[in-house]
Amino acid sequence: MSQSSSGKVFVVLSSHDASAQDGMMPIASRKELLAELFDCNTGPERQDDDILYGPGFRLELTPGQDPITQMLLTLTEEEIGWQVLTKLLKQFEWKLLDPNTGRELKAPAAE
């Protein structure tokens, strides 16, 4: 593994709170998510794949899940990945959960 490779893993969730009855708040429908991420240079290598590749990161979708309620994110190139992820967290109102520590990371609020 090169020094710029991280392999740090996070769970991506919607930053909107769900009611106790509904469980996790959906991020988006699968179709909407793929279309929006395509505009951010992120997508699958082949149609219908559940793994999406973006600049410095990889997203894994739950097979067959629609709407998407969570994704597994792996940083593959930390130098690039954090810059892109900061923008995506703000744009899509996501939060990251570190499964090792339980800490939630959100993008800073816009000024």
In this structure, is residue 76 part of a structural domain?
yes
Is-contact 84 78, C-beta < 8 A? Answer: no
**Among all chains, which residue has been given the structure tokens 């979708």?**
61
pLDDT digits (tens, 9 = 90+) for 17-67: 765 445 678 999 999 999 999 999 999 999 889 999 999 999 999 999 999
Q: Residue 40 sits in which domain range?
A: 9-103
In this structure, is residue 4 part of a structural domain?
no
In this structure, is residue 88 part of a structural domain?
yes
Query: pTM of the entire structure?
Result: 0.82
Q: Give the DSSP per-residue string, 11-77.
A: EEEESSPPPTTT-SPP-B-HHHHHHHHHTTT-EESSTT-SEEEETTEEEEEPTT-SSB--EEEEESS
Mean pLDDT of 81-100: 91
Total tally of structural domains belonging to the chain: 1
